[in-house]
Structure 1
Amino acid sequence: MKIVPSSVQLLLERLRATYTAEEARLRLSRQAERAPERTLRSAREASSANISSLWRQLGAAGVEIAGVEQELADQRTLEQAERYSGNIEAMVGTVKLPVGVVGPLLVNGLNAKGLYYAPMATTEAALVASYARGAMVATRSGGVTTALLNEGVLRTPGFKFSGLIDAGLFVEWVARNADELKAAAEATTRHGKLIALEPIIDNDIVFLLCRYTTGDASGQNMVTIATDALCAKIEQDCPVKPLHWFIEANFSGDKKASYIGLITGRGRKVSASTVIPEALVEKHLHVSIDRMLAYGEMANLGALLSGQMGAQGHYANGLAAFYIATGQDAACVSESAVGFTRMERREDGLFVSVTLPNILVGSVGGGTGMPSQSAALSLLGLKGAGHGAALAEVTAALCLCGEISIMAAIAAGHFSSAHEKLARKR
């Protein structure tokens, strides 16, 4: 009878062939004597002088920097170093990624209207080609219909009390003083608005779900600063004192796939759809509608049985490439890549829709002001104030294009051959 799974068994066999038990213990033991006395010293501001200083320190520490420094700290980066000061610490350079463009993508949205050329930064061959194929088919079908359905970025502080009674009294006080708490939060920002304050009690712990609109910004830092001011107002005025509290109690779904995000949304909730005439499905996707629907039915079952949050093909692919290109917080892909893709046969063709409840994008703030990312937003035509909602709708439309293409490729049996052609054998 096997007790250890075969994969673990193989690992143990490889380790025994490499180390004795004593050698392994020594290799994994603490080595405080090897800790250097000095750590890297760097100014918070990014500048060519501070970048050069860090490279000198790395060289003095024994790091092989020949050729490395020139590649990361190229002349263009050094000339524009100050533009990165609000985005990074201990800056030593920039990393270059290839950027492809998808378009024209015709969007018929409540906020986004017209033809868009979407930049995507990725190292995955076949990705841009796939999204471009989906965009071509959607555009030739009359475009993608998009609508921003809801918005609100969550921050959820948590408060610990001595018991359930105090927790209840605290919630009662919050309800009576909601207007004052709203004023305290909104005093920290010109653009953020506290639109909901919902207490959740778990015995002696209270979570406050603080939901904000954030203008054209993604708003992660904005809502954190606003909520901190709200909590300071509570600490100052509330007669029911918590034993302790924390600015984020891991309830908001920040940078995590969560059910609260799936159901109520965190960021901007957008739905996008198109109807592809049967002739275009067969001509450009090289598959029948019935075959697409058969794949969709099986894929939905797979999502259900494996416990996925939502049911979709690969939102994360398009979101990661688009977020990096346009200066969004790439870590937010972890929550943005949740949602639902649907396919149905309609009288006029194949209906395909996506709904993403957690799109976290901004046309201002964050990394949108960095040189390359600012240029990418300009290419898209959505740089600066007034474009946040449109940017969210284009994001959903781009995800729809990716879903159309990947589902068609798998349904037609072309998924492996496309990657082999565009990636392995290019």
Structure 2
Amino acid sequence: MTISATIRAEDPDRGKNYTPIPLRWIGPLRICGNAVEGEVRVPLATYESPLWPAVGRGARVSRHTEAGIRATVVDERMTRSVLVEGEDAARCLEAASALQNRLGELQSVTRSTSRYAELLAVRHEICGPLLFLRFEFATGDASGHNMVTLAADAVLSHILSTISGIRYGSISANYCSDKKATAINGILGRGKNVTAEILIPRAVVVRQLRTTAAQVAHLNTHKNLIGTLLAGGIRSANAHYANMLLAFYLATGQDAANIVEGSQGVTYAADRDGDLYFSCTLPNVIVGTTGNGKNLEGTDDVLRNLGCRDGRPVGGNARRLAALAAGTVLCGELSLLAAQTNPGELMKAHTSIERTKGEHRAP
């Protein structure tokens, strides 16, 4: 069952709404883990109408398993990098070394900028006379873009005033790395690092997905792993994480540009005596339940329906949202890979859903 809604973009010239972005509620998907528990419908805002039944099939599969999808929030930290300059690499190393034992001091500076920002770590990279500092913060229930920039600005000012021999370079240094697919984000994570996994009985694989565990595992190795390697993918091996993430981000009021790093991730599939173990690991799920855009009427309603307005400890609502995002990605990834094990199935689905006599159907 799906429930439809519409997101509209505002025309700045005429001051009224005119461009619809179709939204549907899919599921429910059965999900458990350290941030969410139960059966939850999820919203997807997209023009790619086949995405709804694809995620819906994955959600249906989750309800035919004993535990459903297990989503584990492994880590969370939002990053901002800054650039300082010295006369040479030796001076940059001296400055970096001076910072090693000053985390507590920098944490105090961070707390002066926000009730929720907490400095977790400082990493550095030296390139000639350039010192790149990567600050990692906890940001509560906010995705934290502005929060970490404000904190980084204060920390940078403090560093420049207390460590000699270095000077200001930039408040943003691309070592974060914001809205870019980079190795450092894939390795260290940016936002929520979440793994969603499911164990699907053989009978369900055959009946619901019309394939076998061996076929899915074989395709995942050849397509997602080897294909992405040959293409030069960066810390990533998946079929289409970006499709589900963008639709989920738009529906829940997130910064849609974060699908750039969010689309990084690894799909794992294994044949376990005919049962299918399937997982999606996403190191860069950047979501929040408070902050810019989250109190708009439509967004607020969506977050309430998802149970992300409840009175949890700080950060709990954002972790729930991240777990639901990862579970949604798994549903769509599973369905697509299953379809691609059968010749013609993918194109037949797109043709029947999106086109009638050569023209796009209305959603």
Instruction: Give the secondary structure class of the aligned counterpart of 2:20.
Output: coil
1:283-332 Cα distance to aligned partner (Å, 9 max, x none): 11112223222322221211111111211010000000000000011000
1:272 is aligned to 196
Alpha-carbon separation, structure 1, partners of 2:276 and 2:160: 56
1:127-169 Cα distance to aligned partner (Å, 9 max, x none): 1110001111122113101111011111110111111232122
1:39-96 Cα distance to aligned partner (Å, 9 max, x none): xxxxxxxxxxxx99x64xxxxxxxxxxxxx3xx605xxxxxxxxxxxxxxxxxxx743
Instruction: Give the secondary structure class of the aligned counterpart of 1:97.
Output: strand
- The answer for unaligned runs of 5 or more in structure 2 is 1-9
Return the match for 1:154 from 57, 76, 79: 79
1:77 is aligned to none
Q: Kindly indicate whether the alpha-carbon contact (under 8 Å) linking 2:106 and 2:119 is maintained by their aligned counterparts in 1.
A: no
Alpha-carbon separation, structure 2, partners of 1:291 and 1:173: 55
Cα shift at 1:348: 6.4
Cα shift at 1:186: 2.0
Q: Kindly indicate whether the alpha-carbon contact (under 8 Å) linking 1:152 and 1:266 is maintained by their aligned counterparts in 2.
A: yes
Change (3 A) 1:249 1:366: same
Return the match for 1:227 from 140, 143, 152: 152
Instruction: Give the secondary structure class of the aligned counterpart of 1:305.
Output: helix
Give the structure, 1 or 2, with the largest relative contact order (CA under 8 Å, sep 6 or more): 2
Q: Kindly indicate whether the alpha-carbon contact (under 8 Å) linking 1:275 and 1:348 is maintained by their aligned counterparts in 2.
A: no
2:4 is aligned to none
Asked if 1:396 is matched to 2:339, the reply is no
Alpha-carbon separation, structure 1, partners of 2:120 and 2:21: 39
Change (3 A) 1:324 1:384: farther
1:314 is aligned to 240
Cα shift at 1:224: 0.5
Q: Kindly indicate whether the alpha-carbon contact (under 8 Å) linking 1:363 and 1:385 is maintained by their aligned counterparts in 2.
A: no
Cα shift at 1:209: 1.3
Asked if 1:204 is matched to 2:129, the reply is yes
Return the match for 2:294 from 357, 365, 368: 368
1:163 is aligned to 88
Cα shift at 1:376: 1.3
Q: Please give the root-mean-square deviation of Cα atoms over the aligned residues, in Å.
A: 1.7
Cα shift at 1:230: 0.3
Change (3 A) 1:384 1:217: farther
Alpha-carbon separation, structure 2, partners of 1:296 and 1:420: 24
Counterpart residue type for residue 204 of structure 2: L
What aligned pairs does 1:252-401 form with structure 2 within 5 A after superposition? 252-299=176-223, 300-309=225-234, 310-347=236-273, 349-383=275-309, 386=312, 387-401=317-331
Change (3 A) 1:415 1:245: same
Change (3 A) 1:209 1:385: farther
1:214 is aligned to 139
Q: Which moved more, 1:101-110 or 1:197-206?
A: 197-206
TM-score normalised by the chain length of structure 2: 0.90
Alpha-carbon separation, structure 1, partners of 2:203 and 2:154: 58
Alpha-carbon separation, structure 2, partners of 1:177 and 1:251: 21
Q: Point out 4+ residue stretches in structure 1 off by more than 6 angstroms.
A: none
1:111 is aligned to 35
More strand by share: 2
Counterpart residue type for residue 422 of structure 1: I
Q: Which moved more, 1:302-311 or 1:312-321?
A: 302-311
Instruction: Give the secondary structure class of the aligned counterpart of 1:324.
Output: helix
Alpha-carbon separation, structure 1, partners of 2:19 and 2:301: 16
Q: How many residues matched?
A: 340
Q: Which moved more, 1:291-300 or 1:403-412?
A: 291-300
Alpha-carbon separation, structure 1, partners of 2:267 and 2:97: 41
TM-score normalised by the chain length of structure 1: 0.77
Greater radius of gyration (CA)? 1
Cα shift at 1:335: 0.5
Cα shift at 1:239: 2.3
Identity %: 33
